[in-house]
Structure 1
Amino acid sequence: MKIVPQTDEQLRQEVSARYGRTALQVLGTPSEGASCCGSDCCGKASVAELTPAPVSQASSCCESECCTTEAGKGNPITSDLYTQMELGEIPVAAALASLGCGNPTALAELKSGEKVLDLGSGGGIDVLLSAKRVGPSGFAYGLDMTDPMLELAERNRQEAGIENVQFLKGIIEAIPLPENSVDVVISNCVINLSADKGQVLREAYRVLTPGGRFAVSDIVVQGDLPPVLRRDMESWAGCVAGALEEGTYHSLLQATGFVDIEVEVTRRYSLDEIAASGAGASIAALSDREREEVNGKFVSAFVRARKPNHQ
């Protein structure tokens, strides 16, 4: 079991390396290892079933022993998040690199002309979908720290022929945009990966216009986690160990200044599903009592909040 690094920078490097491996796989550059939320070849298989023609490589991959979930359906956290209509609107590579746990573009109820920022934009799936929602009078930014992901996202943008998009390099704890510059901040299973989630929320608040909306999909835990889960790097990269407790998430948003805060549970995960997401080693190390306490406490959630109109 690999232990979570002790410094924020070391943790950021570990997460970036894992995301980078997924991007390189989709770009066609061989690389070993899985990425955040278990985005291995099994995750690709679920996309292949929806868009079979372009992804022959994924089907051959999933004939190997890397698939551990039923019938190669993919990681239980990351699969089946988008409709076939949505997947038909974007390049297949954007879907293959999706490491999310929800569909924030649907959650955010985007309107024509709005400016949107996606924190941890990866291969660009939510940015490209957002750009279509806000139309040519709106704009969508994607922020990511991983060069291969940025390369993949830009390739996907060009293939889609979408102009009202810009991908930015940076970290979500220091967003490279001025204050009051976007109407909506979205994110898809990324904030849980940060070691300083309070800073992420403060940065999101800063760049939102007055009245702007925070609308993210994230993994949330309802209750405390055993220390072995919090220490496991694979569990952290699997979007488990870094998950905020639901009440803590609400409190951090409130302390930042957000109002109209809602945490809506969209899916609850069994212990076996959490193990399949990348936390297998730490789950196996739990006692029977700890396993019983953890089972069913991990959820995907829509987290909504609003920056007040007047500060």
Structure 2
Amino acid sequence: MSQSKDVKANQQVKETVRSGYAAIALGQQKSCCSSQRSGQADPAKLAASLGYDATTLARLPEGANMGLSCGNPVALAALEAGQTVLDLGSGGGFDVFQAGERVTATGHVIGVDMTPEMLARARNNIASYLQVTGLDNVEFRLGEIEHLPVADHTIDVVLSNCVINLSPDKQQVWSEIFRVLKPGGKAAVSDLALLQPLPENIRTMASALVGCVAGAILVDDVSQLLETTGFTRIKLTPKPSYIQSMQDWNDPLYAEIAQNLPDKKELADYVVSLSIEAYKE
């Protein structure tokens, strides 16, 4: 494929993702990375299954949790007071607001999202966050995770939750994460990755793309990207229970994908939730 065709294809992927998540933000369709559509589980139940604390969830602004998680990067990050944190693909502010409480008034959390509708929703939630916590330490910026609107060497911890797998240029995303991190900074990411290549028909399904499946890459390739970028102390922890839960809850998205898999194959044979920890020395 020529470079111009590559660029065009990547832009088409971004527009598919952008329009899908704009529809979620506006309430025109339900969550794609979750079982929210099934009616058998809601965002709170999904978050609880991923290890989010019920008390913390209850303090979140209404609508911040849209069931778009595939892990718990906030817990993975072990955040401390005074840190500056960046959340990639921040959506309605689900992880941003939780991180804000952990870094306290001396810290700062920045959420970046490429979807204006999501950004508006998150910014509307700031007033509620301030009222509940008394903290004025979060902000949301419009931008793509391949081109972060953040200065070099300014971030202590980068978070991301089921977002990097959506990017058509993951090497660029990890390069940007490395750029903005301070020396000694950490990436704490929950993402979807592949245990084996997806069938071609699954990769090209738009619903699978927005649902965070079609853009996922092999676990070994994630490791290689991190090493190539310059990260050290890399730790990748597969969490198969997430995909198994989606199957158990009969989520329509996952059911649609499952119907197109080869005989006797399940989505959990291909896809896994992956906790990623990596440092910039």
SS in 1 for 2:18: helix
The Cα of 1:244 is off from its aligned counterpart by 1.7
Aligned residues with identical type, % of pairs: 37
The Cα of 1:79 is off from its aligned counterpart by 4.6
TM-score (norm 2): 0.87
Residue 89, structure 1, aligned to residue 76, structure 2: no
Q: How does 1:91-170 map to 2 (within 5 A)?
A: 91-95=61-65, 97-161=66-130, 162-170=135-143
Q: How does 1:257-272 map to 2 (within 5 A)?
A: 257-268=230-241, 269-270=243-244, 272=247
TM-score (norm 1): 0.79
Residue 73, structure 1, aligned to residue 46, structure 2: no
Structure 2 unaligned blocks of 5 or more: 1-6
1:21-49 Cα shifts (integer Å, max 9, x gaps):
22112xxxxx2x344314xxx62xxxxxx
Aligned-CA RMSD value? 2.4
Q: CA–CA distance in 2 between the matches of 1:255 and 1:136?
A: 36
Picking from 172, 179, 182, the partner of 1:209 is 182
Q: CA–CA distance in 1 between the matches of 2:155 and 2:192?
A: 24
Count of aligned pairs: 267
Q: Which residue of 2 aligns with 1:302?
A: 275
The Cα of 1:273 is off from its aligned counterpart by 5.5
SS in 2 for 1:244: coil
Q: Name the aligned partner's letter for residue 83 of structure 1.
A: D
Q: How does 1:44-83 map to 2 (within 5 A)?
A: 67=38, 72-74=40-42, 78-80=46-48, 81=50, 82-83=52-53
Picking from 211, 221, 235, the partner of 2:194 is 221
Structure 1 unaligned blocks of 5 or more: 26-30, 44-65
Contact 1:119–1:185 (8 Å) recurs in 2: yes
Q: CA–CA distance in 2 between the matches of 1:136 and 1:129?
A: 13
1:71-125 Cα shifts (integer Å, max 9, x gaps):
x224899553322111122112112x24111111111000111000000000001
The Cα of 1:13 is off from its aligned counterpart by 1.4
The Cα of 1:296 is off from its aligned counterpart by 3.1
Of 262-271 and 135-144, more deviation after overlay is shown by 262-271
Q: Which residue of 2 aligns with 1:55?
A: none
Picking from 150, 172, 185, the partner of 1:177 is 150
Contact 2:181–2:280 (8 Å) recurs in 1: yes
Cα gap change, 1:77/1:273 in structure 2, threshold over 3 Å: closer, same or farther?
A: farther
Cα gap change, 1:298/1:246 in structure 2, threshold over 3 Å: closer, same or farther?
A: same
Contact 1:213–1:304 (8 Å) recurs in 2: yes
SS in 1 for 2:193: strand
The Cα of 1:287 is off from its aligned counterpart by 2.7
Q: CA–CA distance in 2 between the matches of 1:266 and 1:79?
A: 14
